[in-house]
Amino acid sequence: MISTIFVLLISYHSTVFAFSSSGLAYCSPSTQTIRSNSNNGQRIQSKSSFALNLSSETGSKDDGELASNPSRRQMLAQSAVAAFSSLVIPTTAVMADENNNDSSSYPYNTQVSFGASWSAVDGLNEMDLSNRNDKVVGFDMKSYKAMRDDPTRTPVFEKAIKERLFKTKNPESQVVLDLGTGPFALFAMMAADMGAGKVYAIEGNPEAAASARYTVKKAGYEDIITVIEGLSTQIQLPEKVDFCVAELIGSVGSEEGVYATVKDAARFLKEPTDSDNWIPTRIQTYGAPASYTLHNLFGPPEFDWTKLGGEPVRFRCSDNGLQLLSDPQVIEDVSFAVGAADRSKEEGTLTFSISADRITKNVQPLFEEFKQKSDAKSSQQYAETTSRSLSGIAMWPRLFLNDHLIIDSRNYPLGGHQKSHWQTVLPIMSGRPLGSLKGGETVEVKYKFELPSDVTKPPQYSIQGVLKYNS
């Protein structure tokens, strides 16, 4: 059945294809277009995504037009002939005792290192800024619509804005800042609709700012909402605001520069140290070791994952092609009230224990994924192999809009799949998945996220880990 997959890939494109976290993407070098069957739930469209249609939750077949990144795609193309190669089993493995069912392959008492480093803008669109050296994550209209139409996000923001406005008896007394308003001036319009006296809407993306201005004019809110184009760090407001709404939260929470933006934006607020004056008031990024279907299916010499250079693969949070191997833990955690946001790095060590129960339970959803493109016998084999493999540390965000309104992009606390426009981010942390897991292994991870205070300098990420097989 492997051959079916080979044929599929080769026939889709003999010269260029890219993996997508969530669906078959085939791209043409001449049109620089990637078509993906991902749903419209993508926060940011990856420049180069990976692709094989193993996902059941597919949207329309041609709903994706992605920005191009020919060099990266060419690199992928050169290595993009499919192969199913064996998992990495450490050469130092002491082979098993006879009582163990998995005795032929389990690498007792060994340790394997893995890791990845990348920049926040790697693989993502960038804002079109006048200084070419400046780099800020950018969005296209499809991504803005996905955010706006996310039923797990936008109504919760609306509620939080309402609660904050009506904390005072007189919402008209309130001056509001919508920082990063986007093309629909979404939260600014909500605040105005709810009776805010004055709203400033800042937007760094020139096209989005123009569109926001048009939206405001059309709604007849020009006297209430003032749209200001530019990066917030370069802007002065004529007055201080009562509260700020700033949805600048990436799939790794910090990747859209929220630490730097919020740190600077404190100067806009009358009382920046009051956590009620920030929506959201706190964000977290959760992470857990994960298995990934395609990382198991394709490997060297034909396919070289190291050519991604650390650039993470991005999944819909509902995508069963990615399964968690341990309970999630917090990696980033920041409160916006001043002081907490004044942080230049997130750094620490986490220890995860691979769950035998999760390995067992992951087999069925992985089987369903493989089954879409493969026969039952092969699918079962792929699913069992994949369920016992580690590809990297998956990450996703959690937002506290106030002390009781919380948005989860994956189920809390176990990290189960759910719909969200945010993505689950998986840096592939070794050329081949680390396999032969049984449960009980330890994954020790050191993470270091550099979070510059200049919004035009993208955060830098590094995760280094050790997988310890036990006896």
Ligand X SMILES: C[S@@+](CC[C@H](N)C(=O)[O-])C[C@H]1O[C@@H](n2cnc3c(N)ncnc32)[C@H](O)[C@@H]1O
In the complex, the residues that contact ligand X under the rule CB under 6 A are: 127, 139, 147-148, 180-182, 186-187, 202-205, 208, 231-233, 247-248, 256-257, 261, 455
Q: Residue 350: which residues within 8 A CB-CB, separation 6 or more?
A: 287, 329, 331, 444, 445, 447
Q: Which C-beta is closer to ligand X: that of 204 or that of 459?
A: 204
Q: Which C-beta is closer to ligand X: that of 114 or that of 336?
A: 336
In the complex, the smallest distance separating the C-beta of residue 257 from ligand X, rounded to whole angstroms, is 6
Q: Which C-beta is closer to ligand X: that of 231 or that of 252?
A: 231
Beta strand pairing call for 406-408 and 17-18: unpaired
Q: Which C-beta is closer to ligand X: that of 159 or that of 448?
A: 159
In the complex, the smallest distance separating the C-beta of residue 202 from ligand X, rounded to whole angstroms, is 5
Residue with the CB atom nearest ligand X in the bound state: 180
User: Do the Cβ atoms of 235 and 217 come closer than 8 Å?
Assistant: no
In the complex, the smallest distance separating the C-beta of residue 154 from ligand X, rounded to whole angstroms, is 7
Sign of CA dihedral 138, 427, 453, 408: positive
In the complex, the smallest distance separating the C-beta of residue 182 from ligand X, rounded to whole angstroms, is 3
Q: Which C-beta is closer to ligand X: that of 189 or that of 390?
A: 189
Q: Which C-beta is closer to ligand X: that of 205 or that of 291?
A: 205
Q: Is 83 exposed, middle or buried (0-12, 13-18, 19+ CB in 10 A)?
A: middle
Q: Which C-beta is closer to ligand X: that of 16 or that of 244?
A: 244
Q: Which C-beta is closer to ligand X: that of 203 or that of 369?
A: 203
Of 330, 451, 351, nearest in space to 397 by CA: 330
In the complex, the smallest distance separating the C-beta of residue 334 from ligand X, rounded to whole angstroms, is 15
Task: Kindly state the tokens that stand for 163.
Answer: 């609660």
In the complex, the smallest distance separating the C-beta of residue 409 from ligand X, rounded to whole angstroms, is 13
Task: Kindly state the tokens that stand for 275.
Answer: 């956590």
In the complex, the smallest distance separating the C-beta of residue 187 from ligand X, rounded to whole angstroms, is 6
Distances (CA, A) of 181 to 28, 75, 202, 217: 34, 36, 6, 15
Q: Which C-beta is closer to ligand X: that of 119 or that of 233?
A: 233
**Residue 78: what residue type?**
Q
In the complex, the smallest distance separating the C-beta of residue 198 from ligand X, rounded to whole angstroms, is 18
In the complex, the smallest distance separating the C-beta of residue 288 from ligand X, rounded to whole angstroms, is 24
Task: Kindly state the tokens that stand for 117.
Answer: 């480093």
∠261-266-268 over CA atoms, to 5°?
100
Q: Which C-beta is closer to ligand X: that of 249 or that of 366?
A: 249
In the complex, the smallest distance separating the C-beta of residue 243 from ligand X, rounded to whole angstroms, is 15
